[in-house]
Amino acid sequence: MGEIITRFPPSPTGHLHLGGARTALFNWLFAKHHKGKFILRFEDTDRERSKQEYVDSILEALKWLGLNWDEGPYFQTQRLDLYKKFAQRLYEEGKAYYCECSKELLEEKKKEMLKMGLKPKYDKTCRDKNLGPGEGRVLRIKAPETGEIVVEDLLRGKIVFPAEELDDFIIMRSDGTPTYQFAVVIDDITMGITHVIRGDDHISNTPKQLIIYQALGAKPPKFAHIPMVLGPDGARLSKRHGAKSILEYREAGYLPKALINYLARLGWGYGNQEYFTVEELIEKFTLENINLSAARFDPDKLLAFNAYWIRNTDNKEVLEHLKYFLKAYDLSKFSEDYLLSAIETVKTRSKTLVEMAEMMQFYLVEEVIYEEKGAKKFLVFDIVPILERVVEDLKELPLEEKKLEEYFRNLSEETGIKLKNIAQAIRVALTGKTVSPGLFEIIKVLGKERVIERIKKAIKYIKNLK
């Protein structure tokens, strides 16, 4: 087997969503597994709906996911001369013909066929007229009138289409632009595509494309039509199921590796393994392990995957992604060790990077703002002597979690004040909140200077209430 070449051909008429990203991923993994090539091209011949902002958005989403392409991006609008050349060849060889039937006439014929209970298709009025190119004329392929078109699908086996079900479909519009069916075949031929992995909604397109391959005497690629991604209710996945565009998942605080892992598991598996690094996916990905049942999107499961990868990713890597959510802070004021230690205290409690950034806020500010309810309950006058003593004792106390725990327990027993009330007062003083990572972890990360300063500010706050 020669070099494997796959492609991902998005239409820039919208942002990249889960279904498209999974198709890109499967093509990318298949190419990488076989040490082949992954090509990116934009099917942008729909000039009204295609927009540069969608091109930029798709490129950004693929880069963020790490699905880097080996060739491209190509744009169909920059290849129009190529399509015209192949179309001219088919016309000259008598394998395509010009048709002058107007849209109105075709619509009337369609209605007549439906009235007769027939499947509407072009009746070949112009097939033998020997018309040349002209204004308002389209170019149609001469489809076989008898026999069968057989699609050999790598996942589904043989799919047979009777030739009489297909018509002489248009390959070039009257304005000189190619139709989807024609452009995609010319692209795949000229780019040397060996495998087309795409959604099963394309199965009906495949026999038409095979007709074009046959007319051009070109060897078609191997096809694998993967099941669609459905919503939790079994309907086609859409925004109402909570599915976002890929970049919206980035904004919501998902790690790219979590999304890649989840997308791979949507309809593909390897034994009972649930979590995969990208390297493991490349090593283990094969078409044989794709499930032919439609995969169902589960937002809760995706969130669980994200929490898993936040917990199990090196803190330096987490920090690189987290910086995007910490743009409001001047991180240059802090050492990398300080930031990494802070991340360690919140990573097991965070399901998203947005949550993590919120939890880390108190590490990054000069002054914390106290939650009203927590301050009212725990920053009370009776606790001031305790806080003043803690300030003095901390100067000599080693910041080890066991030593700190022992110290505060002894302090509680000695003063008769509940450990919870002492701990919560200090927690509010240090973080502004009643809920946070472990208190002794926080003290260790903040360091003596910050801790003492914040407790002193809490004492001043309480005294000013009098």
Residue numbers annotated as active site: 239
CA distance 277 to 279: 5
> Pairing mode, if any, of strands 170-172 and 229-230?
unpaired
CA distance 428 to 229: 46
Q: Is the peptide bond before 73 cis (omega within 30 degrees of 0)?
A: yes
**For the chain, how long is the longest CA-to-CA vector?**
106
Report the phi/psi class of residue 450: left, alpha or beta, with left for phi > 0 and alpha for psi in -120 to 50.
Answer: alpha
**Is 228 in contact with 200 (CB distance < 8 Å)?**
yes
Which residues, including other chains, have CB under 8 Å from residue 5's CB and lie 6 or more apart? 31, 36, 37, 38, 39, 191, 192, 193, 194, 195
